[in-house]
Homo-oligomer: A and B are copies of this chain.
Amino acid sequence: MRQAGRYLPEYREIRKLHTFLEMCHTPEVVAEVTLQPVRRFDLDAAIVFSDILVFLPALGLPVEFPEGGPKVSRPIGAPEDVERLGSLDPGRHIPEIYDAVSLCVERLDGSHPLFGFCGAPFTLACYAIEGQGSKEFARARAFLLRHERAGHQLLDKLAESAAAHLVAQVKAGATAVQVFDTWAGLLGRRDFDEFSRPYLERIVTAVKPLGVPVFVFARGVPAAWQAGLGAHVHSLDWRADLAESRRVLAPAGLQGNLDPVLLASSKLRAVATATAMCEEMRDTQAYVFNLGHGVLPETPVENVAAVIDAVHAVKLARRAA
């Protein structure tokens, strides 16, 4: 999940000097912000600082990031609007994004693997149609149900561009990737199988030949529905039951899923829960401890440090045993 962010004072310092978009498009800033969490904490990997919507402008969907969250200024309103969308040519449209990835790799200098990431087509379509964040993305889901053909054409174009974006990040040096389907949990099973799953599979298939581990985060989607997607690792939000997910998703690995609200609200309880999670997953080969979503801005830095220490302590105790 995103590591850098407003909970870090050193991030807030840089954030004061730039707009969010400026940050994403300036390699020097991306590298600095990406490295902040790995400098401060004993983390096992870094994740590039960026945003899932960063390539939408290249398709003809300009995006801004005012205070209340992202806004797509000319969202998809009618089936015809899908026709006018272009596709991403990574090196031509947003070379600075991949330069930023390369700079992160250079600065990390082999100390940590680096995750690249992209948004999943369904989640990108949510923003492309709704034009902004929403509790239930009812307009976006209605568009897909009402305009089946245009809906699939849109998902298709987004899948092609998202895959190209991910491949370009790997070529720039990213050593692992994650696909974020943040809003797939709004879908019932039929709709997940129609509007999300095939497009996730397409991205996984496009990236796997590059030989990097592929993580999929289908937030709020029951683990059983995700089985067979082809991902190496499934990231789980805080509502998923780890043991049950392991049962249905093995041999794929699992990542997650401490509740970010717990991390923000109680150091003691967060440490206890993180320790219990690691113990529960001790016999699972591929388990990556993480949060179940991004770090909340109000999270005390000391809570983050305490949980990371607790996770490493379990690991050390196990080696010693």
A78 within 8 A of B: no
Known: A136-B261, A222-B222, A261-B136. A239 touches B187 (CB 8 A): yes
Interface residue SS majority, chain A: helix
Q: Is the CB of B261 within 8 A of A142?
A: yes
- Neighbouring B residues of A265 by C-beta, 8 Å: 141-143, 145-146
Q: Which of A85-93, A188-196, A198-206 contacts B (4 or more CB under 8 A)?
A: A188-196
Known: A138-B264, A142-B261, A145-B262. A239 touches B269 (CB 8 A): no
A292 within 8 A of B: yes
- Neighbouring B residues of A222 by C-beta, 8 Å: 222, 241
A36 within 8 A of B: no
CA distance A296 to B146 in the complex (A): 16
Per the CB 8 Å criterion, the residue count for chain A at the interface is 35
CA distance A297 to B189 in the complex (A): 24
- Neighbouring B residues of A266 by C-beta, 8 Å: 145-146
> In chain B, what residue has the closest Cβ to A240?
B188
Using a CB-CB cutoff of 8 Å, which residues 250-289 of chain A contact chain B? 257, 259-262, 264-266, 269, 273
Q: Is the CB of A188 within 8 A of B142?
A: no
CA distance A264 to B146 in the complex (A): 10
Contact for A145 among B138, B185, B186, B261, CB less than 8 A: B261
- Neighbouring B residues of A135 by C-beta, 8 Å: 135
Most buried by B among A142, A257, A269: A142
CA distance A11 to B273 in the complex (A): 48
Contact for A241 among B185, B189, B240, CB less than 8 A: B189
> In chain B, what residue has the closest Cβ to A258?
B188
A238 within 8 A of B: yes
CA distance A186 to B296 in the complex (A): 15
Report which A residues bind B (CB closer than 8 A): 135-136, 138, 141-143, 145-146, 185-191, 220, 222, 224, 238-241, 244, 257, 259-262, 264-266, 269, 273, 292, 296
Q: A138-B296, A188-B238, A188-B241 are in contact. List 11 more A-B contacts (CB 8 A).
A: A138-B260, A141-B259, A141-B265, A145-B262, A146-B265, A187-B239, A189-B239, A189-B241, A220-B239, A222-B241, A224-B244
